Structure 1
Amino acid sequence: MTFSIVGRCSETGQLGIAISSSSIAVGARCPWLRAGVGAVASQNVTLPALGPQILDLLEAGHEPAAALDQALARNGYSQYRQVALLDGQGRSALFSGSQALGVHKALAGEQCVAAGNLLASAAVIEALVSAFEQSPGQLAERLLAAMHAAIAAGGEAGPVHSAALKVVGDLTWPMVDLRVDWAEQDPIGELDKLWQAYAPQMQDYLIRALDPTAAPSYGVPGDE
């Protein structure tokens, strides 16, 4: 039903999540990030509250495993949840409940953790981790490369229809927040197209926010 990769760039400290699902609008419910604090993928039978709660606990100084355990215990029904997370230092924690759907797996790697359920095989998660670890480039590019590798390894047991990519850096808002809420086929390919269009403009949008006097013009009405 869903597979995801949570990753950290050891050079920049950026945190990111790429995720895809057979359900609509996976990016609205499952990826949760806070700059300098952590990144949480909450999936399977999703409880969106787990993401902010775990991030709050991490920000309060709890280690990843303790934050995850406390949030799961607080909300109940943990047997239905699957959660993967990294904190701001790259430490990981993961959980798959006994009622996780179909073939499921969660695996930690170097500066990353991946999880999925209703998979074609457990090798999908291994492909996510391996591709992230071996891919060069910006964090967003490494996350997308991992998602393509997961699809090549079989992906979900059925077709996926939505995908999302989210990255946080030093600022309080995401530097990348791209979503494909529904596609009949290949939402990860569509997400990659969005990234290719957004990447050349990403720094310009940061400049526009931080120093409007230095912002480039895009030639639209009123933009001078």
Structure 2
Amino acid sequence: MTFSIVGRDPRTGDLGVAVASKFLAVGALVPFVQGGVGAVATQSYVNTTFGPEGLRRLAAGLDPQQVSAQFQAEDPDIGQRQFGLVSASGHSATFTGPGCHDWAGGFAGPDVAIQGNILTGEEVVTVMREAWEAGTGLPLPRRLLSALVAGDRAGGDRRGRQSAALLCAGPGRGYGGLTDDWVNLRADDHADPCAELARLLDLHDLLFTRPAHTRPFTAAELDWLRALLRRQGYAQTLPAGAWDEQTEAAAWALYGTENLEERWVAGGQVDPVALAYLQGRYPG
């Protein structure tokens, strides 16, 4: 009762799943991702063991087609199941049991598996595939989301909308660079869950994307920042002139309070994205 896309970025090795459904909190049941191993979407009368077990078998060296064959042989209710798998090497598989509610089906190709059931029609999978193929060059979360939105606009789940989720992992992409777990966003009960997921991804990118470009503060920007730090209570007084340790300590505290620590740059450098956000939040 869901449509999903499982994908891999061949440039970076990032892996992920995007999913939407007329089902409460679909992100709690369908997507499973492990950096360096693979990604799984399990849906339609969900066998929740397929997620962790699929990742375990991929990690043990099986390819997605072998995992799919094993699931089909082992699950007595396989006729009602649907799932997609993509490995860290980019191999893929999708399966739709004959007992899944119409329209049901999928597509698997290099780096991607797309599947859905109770859809308005086959065109949902078709436009998702087209959006995926057109999204080459996008970061994986954006590419997956663009395909999900395309499927939603084509009709998606014929029962309507309720929830959506995006789960991605990539080498060292997690918070602080200490984990591969990267994007984990859910709209559990929403009138337009794909649009809400897009809003959440924008916010995630603002707060948790590391700087792509940095530059020194200008003199005017440094004056503005010091005035802000004093006004917000991070320092009572700050010296004028060049960047100094006192300004750095106060600015680091500001960034931490604003949840911008992933965009922090020491030594008087600044990420223009973080600066624009702060200037918009604290004008004057």
The two structures share one fold, judged by TM-score above 0.5? yes
Alpha-carbon offset, residue 111 of structure 1: 2.0
Kindly report which structure 2 residues correspond to 1:135-214, keeping only aligned pairs within 5 A, or say none.
135=135, 136-171=137-172, 172-183=179-190, 185-203=191-209
More displaced 10-residue stretch of structure 1: 27-36 or 171-180: 171-180
SS at match of 2:255: coil
TM-superposed deviation, 1:163:
0.3
> For 2:110 and 2:55, how far apart are their aligned partners in 1?
21
Output the amino acid matched with 1:125.
V
Identity of matched residues, % = 36
Q: Does the aligned pair in 2 maintain the 1:109–1:129 contact within 8 Å? A: no
Q: Compute the displacement of 1:126 (Å).
A: 1.0
SS in 2 for 1:167: strand
Look up the match of 2:78: 78
CA distance in structure 2 between the partners assigned to 1:194 and 1:16 by the alignment: 16
Which one has more relative contact order, counting CA pairs under 8 Å at least 6 apart?
Answer: 1
Q: Within 1, Cα distance between the matches of 2:68 and 2:108? A: 15
| Secondary structure of 2:17's aligned partner | strand
Structure (1 or 2) with the greater strand fraction = 1
Give the match for residue 45 of structure 1.
Answer: 45
Once residues 216 and 80 of structure 1 are traced to their aligned partners in structure 2, the CA distance between those partners, rounded to angstroms, is 52
Contact 1:50–1:72, Cα closer than 8 Å, also in 2:
no
Q: How does 1:55-94 map to 2 (within 5 A)?
A: 55-94=55-94
List runs of 5+ in structure 1 lacking aligned partners.
Answer: 205-213
In structure 2, give the amino acid aligned to 1:13: G
CA, structure 1 residues 216+107, in 2 after alignment: closer, same or farther (shift >3 Å)?
A: farther
| Structure 1 position 173, deviation (Å) | 4.5
Distance 1:200 1:10 in 2: 24
Residue 123 of structure 1 corresponds to which residue in structure 2?
123
Tell me the alpha carbon deviations over residues 136-186 of structure 1, each in whole angstroms, 9 at most, x when there is no partner.
Answer: 421111111111111221112121100000110114542000001111x11
Choose 189-198 or 133-142, whichever is displaced more: 133-142
Taking structure 2 as the reference length, what is the TM-score of the superposition?
0.71
Q: Secondary structure at the match of 1:175?
A: strand
Structure label with greater radius of gyration: 2
Q: Is contact 1:175–1:202 with CA below 8 Å preserved after alignment?
A: no
SS in 2 for 1:164: strand
Q: Which amino acid aligns with 2:71?
A: A
Q: CA deviation at 1:216?
A: 8.1
Do 1:120 and 1:154's aligned partners in 2 also have CA atoms closer than 8 Å? yes
Partner SS, residue 93 of structure 2 = strand
Once residues 181 and 80 of structure 1 are traced to their aligned partners in structure 2, the CA distance between those partners, rounded to angstroms, is 24
TM-score by length of 1: 0.89
TM-aligned CA distance change 1:215 to 1:98, over 3 Å: farther
TM-superposed deviation, 1:15: 0.4
CA contact (8 A) 1:21 1:160 kept: yes
What is the CA distance between 1:20 and its match in structure 2?
0.4
What is the match of residue 257 of structure 2? Answer: 219
Dislocated runs of 4+, deviation >3 Å: none
Q: Is the 8 A contact 2:164 2:187 kept in 1?
A: yes
Q: Residue type matched to 1:6 in 2?
A: V
1:21 CA displacement: 0.7
CA contact (8 A) 1:84 1:95 kept: yes
In structure 2, runs of 5+ residues without a counterpart are 173-178, 211-251, 262-284
Q: How many residues align?
A: 212
